């Protein structure tokens, strides 16, 4: 959370945090933002989420909201469409390395694979998986419990119970990893 002056919560530090046209990012408690990540403008990141190395979250022409305990892995880009498609990313989501999330909605507890692209107006429901390298076209809905793959993405099969458990385990793993990084950062800062 930001304080009254619009500063990032003291338990959530790191990265390049920039205002845009008076809109400042709002960063929750215990959020890990890697030193090479960039967060710009009208962006809200919920408590306990983690933003890894070389992630760009650019809320310049609309808003971006990221829920709690969500992890955006290295090289992910999150953007939106001017005036028409904000980006909503729910809680307990894993977004794989190098994904592009653009003007879409990701519901709680879904997973986006490495290098996947989810485009304007698309929706990925709870318990759905977008496979690595898949491209979800504008306006498509990935229903709960389905895995979509390919370009353009389409249903490949139903999500297996062990994959649903993996979504939860992976989100928890990244929360733990982020906690370790936050602890190291705080030790470095306090030792200076």
Q: What is the CATH number of the domain that holds 148?
A: 2.160.10.10
Q: Pick the more confident residue, 14 or 57.
A: 57
pLDDT score, position 12: 56
Rounded distance between C-alpha atoms, residue 86 and residue 81, angstroms:
6
Phi (first) and psi of residue 149, to 5 degrees: -145, 165
What's the rounded mean pLDDT across residues 147-152?
Answer: 98
- 125 has a pLDDT exceeding 70: yes
Q: Is the residue at 160 inside a domain?
A: yes
According to DSSP, the β-strands at 154-158 and 146-149 are antiparallel
Separation of alpha carbons 192 and 188, rounded Å: 6
The region of weakest confidence among 111-120, 131-140, 143-152, 183-192 is 183-192
Predicted pLDDT at 81: 86
User: What's the average model confidence in pLDDT over 186-191?
Assistant: 77
Tens digit of pLDDT for each residue in 18-65? 999 999 999 999 999 999 999 999 999 999 999 999 999 999 989 999
On whether residue 2 sits in a domain, the answer given is no
Confidence of residue 185 (pLDDT cuts 50, 70, 90): confident
Is the pLDDT at 3 greater than 90? The verdict is no
Residue 6 in any domain: the answer is: no
Q: Which residues contact 45 (CB under 8 A, 6 or more apart)?
A: 12, 25, 26, 27, 28, 31, 33, 39, 51, 57, 66
Whole domain around residue 134: which residue ranges? 16-191
Find the mean pLDDT for residues 130-156.
Answer: 98
Instruction: Give the chain's domain count.
Output: 1
User: Is 115 domain-assigned?
Assistant: yes
């Amino acid at each position: 959370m930001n304080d009254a002056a619009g500063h990032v919560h003291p338990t959530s530090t790191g990265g390049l945090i920039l205002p845009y046209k008076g809109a400042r990012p709002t960063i929750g408690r215990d959020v890990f933002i890697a030193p090479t990540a960039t967060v710009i403008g009208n962006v809200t990141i919920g408590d306990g989420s983690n933003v890894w190395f070389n992630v760009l979250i650019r809320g310049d022409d609309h808003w971006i909201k990221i829920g709690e305990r969500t992890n955006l892995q290295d090289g992910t880009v999150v953007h939106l469409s001017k005036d028409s498609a904000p980006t909503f990313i729910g809680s307990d989501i894993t977004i794989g390395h190098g994904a592009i999330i653009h003007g879409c909605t990701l519901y709680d507890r879904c997973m986006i694979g490495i290098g996947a692209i989810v485009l304007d107006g698309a929706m990925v429901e709870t318990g759905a998986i977008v496979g690595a390298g898949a491209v979800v076209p504008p306006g498509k809905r990935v229903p709960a419990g389905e895995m979509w793959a390919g370009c353009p993405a389409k249903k490949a099969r139903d999500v297996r119970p062990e994959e649903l458990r993996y979504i939860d385990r992976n989100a928890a793993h990244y929360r733990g990893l982020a906690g370790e990084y936050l602890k190291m950062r705080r030790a470095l800062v306090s030792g200076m």
